Amino acid sequence: MSTKKRGHNEDSIYKDGDRWRGAISIGYGPNGERVRKKVSGKTRPEVVEKIRKIREGLAKGLPVPDDKITVGAFLDRWLSTLPGHIADSTLDDYEDTVRLHLKPGLGRHKLTALTVAHVDALWQAKREKYKPNSVRIMRAVLRKALGQAEREGLVARNVAALSMPPRLNTDEGRTLTVDQSHKLLDSVAEHRMGVLVLLSLVFGLRRGEALGLMWSGFDPEARTLRVTHAVKRVKNRGTDTERKTKLVIAELKTRKSRRTLCLTPQLVDALKRHKSAHNKERLHAGQDWTEHGLIFPTSFGNPSDPDTFSHLFSKLTQKAGLGHWHPHELRHSGASLMLAQGTPLHVVSDVLGHASIAITKDVYGHLMEGDKRAATEAISGALLGRLAPLAPRLAPTDTEEIG
């Protein structure tokens, strides 16, 4: 091994066997000792370039990049910083995405060596097994994580944000017709969850939102119902129980999702009848009742499990002679029926609690073909209705000039 004598605070570059190595002073540690960053490369110019980049970053106030940390290790560290900043259900989704998709596909790469090509290759592989929206979620989680790495100066750019997003194909899905809706509502009219099915269909409620409706949000005089909470199943992070998950009543976080629904007199009456039955159920349960203020709890007052309701709803639709349906199809059906009745798109968006009207348009825009055709006929009638039909111009003769 050969070395070159250097002055105080100078960078050190030397050859060690068949590789070149370098060291750069980056300041002092908590104990007052000098801290040095070491790099290596196949050639001396390669080491010089690495040291130059470190110097350049230090001049900009950026931390020294850790070229040893892997993507998997960084993702684990990122997840550990999130509790308390996001909803538990969101954290559960992030953890599952990292564990099932991101770490197996990218975890072994060095964070600083991760490229757009690596990420694009992962999305390409995932598209063969998963729907585009699932791949979109994977990309969104990785983009958030690498955004933090970019803010910390650990990477120069967010390669997930630069990767190719999946193309989302609008899935029209199934919707109940008016006749099918009548058949379903008639069948569940006497069921304890019948009013839940009714409200979910009329307002396109999400499953968790419908189960999270509170009596405190119901105003029969004003004929309004506020959507403020949702029932969710989340991972149980406590150490005093063997249950892996638990049900929680979570307050809706976004302004768009917290909304007030306008009720008709018929809906007010339906809720009043349901409250009467609800009170009888509570009296029958006696001391076994646990009060949470929910409109649609279990027979003992506890939050209803969303998955249990899905199974129940499937049985109810089959009993009604409609076959198997999922509660989310009530939401899609409600939106479709609103648009079919001529409800403006922005109103439908507000009722559904979408974050923006663009989402509503992307999902349900295909249902507005009739509106677009009517608009064309209206403007055509206004402009051409009093004019003689435009005669098609014949092709020019040989003697005519063609301009």
Distance CA 249, CA 296 (A): 12
- Quote the mean pLDDT of the chain: 85
- pLDDT exceeding 90 applies to what percent of the chain? 52
Q: Write the DSSP symbol of residue 154.
A: S
CB-neighbour burial class of residue 111 (10 A; exposed 0-12, middle 13-18, buried 19+):
buried
Higher pLDDT, 132 or 367: 132
Q: DSSP string covering 296-342, please? A: S--TTSSPPPHHHHHHHHHHHHHHTTS----HHHHHHHHHHHHHHTT
Fold of 178-367: hpI Integrase; Chain A (1.10.443)
Q: Write the DSSP symbol of residue 68.
A: T
Residue 85, C-beta contacts closer than 8 angstroms, at least 6 positions apart: none
Query: What secondary structure, in 3-state letters, does 348-362 show?
Result: HHHHHCCCCHHHHHH
The tens digit of pLDDT for each residue in 111-161 reads 989 999 999 999 999 999 998 889 999 999 999 999 999 888 788 899 999
Q: Alpha-carbon Rg of the chain, whole angstroms?
A: 31
The per-residue pLDDT for 277 is: 95
Which of these ranges, 142-156, 179-193, 302-316, has the smallest mean pLDDT? Answer: 142-156
Residue 140, C-beta contacts closer than 8 angstroms, at least 6 positions apart: none
Confidence band for 366, pLDDT divided at 50, 70 and 90: low
3-state SS class at 73: helix
Q: Write the DSSP symbol of residue 5.
A: -
Residue 187, C-beta contacts closer than 8 angstroms, at least 6 positions apart: 316, 319, 320, 321
The tens digit of pLDDT for each residue in 198-219 reads 999 999 999 999 999 999 999 9
The per-residue pLDDT for 354 is: 87
Helices marked H in 169-264 — which ranges?
178-188, 194-203, 207-211
Nearest CA to 279 among 289, 265, 266?
Answer: 289
- pLDDT exceeding 70 applies to what percent of the chain? 83
Higher pLDDT, 24 or 387: 24
The yes/no answer on whether domain 71-162 falls in CATH 1.10.150.130 is yes
Residue type, 276: S
Average pLDDT over residues 314-337: 94
β-pair partners for 39: 22
The per-residue pLDDT for 399 is: 46
pTM of the model: 0.67
CB-neighbour burial class of residue 46 (10 A; exposed 0-12, middle 13-18, buried 19+):
middle
Place of tokens 């009722």: 351
CB-based contact 51:13 (threshold 8 Å): yes
The tens digit of pLDDT for each residue in 223-277 reads 999 999 999 998 887 665 667 888 999 999 888 899 999 999 999 999 999 999 9
Place of tokens 């998963």: 130
Say how many Å lie between the first and final Cα of the chain, rounded: 82
Confidence band for 35, pLDDT divided at 50, 70 and 90: confident
Q: Tell me: pLDDT of 287 over 80.
A: yes
Read off the tokens for 233: 């199943």
3-state SS class at 15: strand
What proportions of the chain, in percent to the nearest 5, are helix, strand and coil? 50, 15, 35
